[in-house]
Amino acid sequence: MKKAGSPRNKTSPLRSREIVERGKGGPLYQHIFETLRDQIQSGHYKDGAFLPGETEVAGRFGVSRITAKRALDEIAAAGMAVREQGRGTIVRRTSRQTTVSAVVANFQNSMQRDGANFVRLYEFSQASADKEVADYLGLAEGTQVQRAIRVWHSEMGPFSHLTTFVPIDIANSWTAADLEKATLATLMERRGVHLVRAEESITATLADEIVAQRLQVNIGAPLLSIKRRIFNEANRVVELVWALHPAERYNYDISIKQGATS
């Protein structure tokens, strides 16, 4: 008899028709990975919860167990879960973090100095912050924010896919045309917002169909994923940035001073 309340008995929202709808133009394991990733990030599977096993994933999506295993392996490789023999795949979103200090405005504006030739704007809109974005920005869920998606290009090709969220009372001072000509750091300084520090989380992910097309990489290609919160001098979060970078076109170098622990 199954024990009531076991995390393994939790009804999974996975549906085989999702693969039918999303499975065009990429490997099946990639679309399973994206579904699980989205459910982890939305909080459906919380830290410490069990993900569906290989057999369940294979059955629900109508794929082989090898494909299901590959998808779960990719979730673990992206740092969102751990695979424990005899137990299953357990969500582990918490991890050891290292804080890096930098002059924020110089850090952001360096993209213009380091070979960026132009930026392409894909989205510029006002939206209601979902729970994740609201938590990052320290706002109430549903608060209006400006959402923009841009891709920076160099002579080597597109190297940075940026999704940014800015509180609307700050962002109402610039237009879409402004974002095609300058970094957000520059626009904020013009607005009188002084950027003093940032906190960021770095992990790995895989390119979905849309991002792969914009960054001109294969679907499922590995990407460096950086989420960064930027604070002003009043310690208010004034910007959330989610950056995706293809490894072959982007280096992330950090200089660590004496006294750092190892």
More confident position, 4 or 150: 150
pLDDT of residue 170: 93
143-175: pLDDT as tens digits: 999 999 999 988 778 889 999 999 999 999 899
Burial category of 167 from C-beta neighbours within 10 Å (exposed 0-12, middle 13-18, buried 19 and up) = buried
CATH of 8-91 given 3.10.129.10, 2.60.40.2130, 3.40.1710.10, 1.10.10.10: 1.10.10.10
44-75: pLDDT as tens digits: 888 888 999 999 999 988 889 999 998 898 88
Q: What is the mean pLDDT of residues 7-27?
A: 49
pLDDT of residue 76: 83
**Amino acid sitting at position 126:** Q
| Domain spans, the chain | 8-91, 104-249
Q: Which residues contact 230 (CB under 8 A, 6 or more apart)?
A: 104, 108, 195, 197, 198, 237, 238, 239, 240, 241
CATH of 104-249 given 3.90.1150.10, 3.40.50.720, 3.30.450.20, 3.40.1410.10: 3.40.1410.10
Backbone angles phi, psi at 185, to 5 degrees: -60, -45
Backbone angles phi, psi at 28, to 5 degrees: -60, -40
The residue with tokens 């013009």 is 190
- What is the average pLDDT score of the chain? 79
Q: What is the pTM of this model?
A: 0.62
214-245: pLDDT as tens digits: 999 998 888 989 898 888 888 899 999 999 99
